[in-house]
Homo-oligomer: A and B are copies of this chain.
Amino acid sequence: MNNQNLKNETQIFFRGLQERICVALEKEDGKGVFVKQEWQRDGGGGGRTMVLQEGAVIEKGGVNFSAVEGELPDKIAKALGLNSNHFFATGVSIVLHPHHPWVPIIHMNVRYFETSVDGKTEEQWFGGGIDLTPHYIIPEQAKFFHQQLKNTCDPFGDKLYPEFKKWADDYFFIQHRNETRGIGGIFFDRLKNSDGFSMSDRFEFVKAVGNVFAPTYTKLMALNKDKQFTPEEKNWQLIRRGRYVEFNLVYDKGTKFGLDTNGRIESILMSLPKMASWPYDPQFSEDSKEKKTQNLLKKDMDWLL
């Protein structure tokens, strides 16, 4: 597949994926409606932000499509080890924050990136991932989630799931808290024409990841949305959301890239929850379900057991 085709085909796929995911989420939510906003980026390209607020299940959720291009800031080129002065990036980015503390937060990103020097393509790659942040970890649901991801990876080779699962553990890690953001998932970046995979193979894999999102998350919504919950559980949810904010603002590379390339702020920060809380030094007893969840926020957990 030549460059021009990839640039076009990825955009077409991602745009359609955004639509299909929004339809599936609205159906499971039963009340909320995604509001569409098209935007242009100064310097090249634009996107379509779909935001659902105050649904029955989803409190604030964004499903963002973008296809942007322009000058690659020196700072970023250097960080990526590139000589390029131009970039093109397209993808879909999702973060969903539910009302309900027993419904998990989810994040997905799938993206295609290429860079060029004076009009000549330097690099092309795919990146992305899906990770889950339950406020309370339910082992059988963690297993279901990881099994879905493994089933998506396995047709492309046995090594993908273990490798990308580890990558997610390392990436979605809140260093200053010494805890993972949630139960991880898969993460991958700079997947090129390499290791026996063509760019077409990589694209097929990214399509599969994009396509597994909706059935996986709507199932988790359905399993948890009708449970009763207490004010204490709601408080804990707000604290976990605070950690989510910490990760996104301190560590997340996508957020940094957006802020550094003069992206559309409301689209970049739509990942932040409607409400989050930082009480001072909250304490939970060793046998509380809050502490049990916290004790599971570690790298290298095998959720498939």
Residues of A within 8 A of B (CB): 37, 51, 53, 60, 62, 175-177, 238, 242, 245-246, 249-250, 259, 265-266, 268-270, 272-281
Contact = CB atoms under 8 A, between A and B. Distances in A.
18 contacts: A37-B281, A51-B280, A51-B281, A53-B279, A60-B278, A60-B279, A175-B259, A176-B259, A176-B265, A242-B272, A245-B249, A249-B250, A250-B250, A266-B281, A273-B278, A275-B276, A276-B277, A276-B278
A62 B265 CA distance: 30
Nearest to A269: B278
Given A176-B265, A249-B245, A276 B279 contact: no
B280 A277 contact: no
Given A62-B280, A270-B280, 5 more contacts: A37-B281, A60-B280, A246-B249, A274-B277, A274-B279
A32 to B, nearest CB: 12
* Top 10 A-B residue pairs of the complex, sorted by shortest distance between their CB atoms: A249-B249, A272-B278, A266-B281, A176-B259, A51-B280, A275-B277, A249-B250, A176-B265, A276-B276, A270-B280
A266 B280 contact: yes
A281 to B, nearest CB: 4
Interface centre among A37, A175, A250, A270 (most CB of B within 10 A): A250
A55 to B, nearest CB: 13
A265 to B, nearest CB: 6
> What copy number does this chain have within its complex?
2
B238 A275 contact: yes
A60 B272 CA distance: 21
Interface centre among A53, A238, A269 (most CB of B within 10 A): A269
Contacts of A62: 280
A268 B37 CA distance: 37
A269 B276 CA distance: 14
Contacts of A273: 278
Contacts of A270: 280
A66 to B, nearest CB: 16
Contacts of A51: 280-281
A252 to B, nearest CB: 11
A246 B259 CA distance: 12
Contacts of A272: 242, 278
A51 to B, nearest CB: 5
A142 B246 CA distance: 31
A280 B265 CA distance: 10
A275 B237 CA distance: 12
A151 to B, nearest CB: 33
Contacts of A275: 238, 275-277
Interface centre among A242, A250, A281 (most CB of B within 10 A): A281
Nearest to A37: B281
A119 B134 CA distance: 49
A262 to B, nearest CB: 8
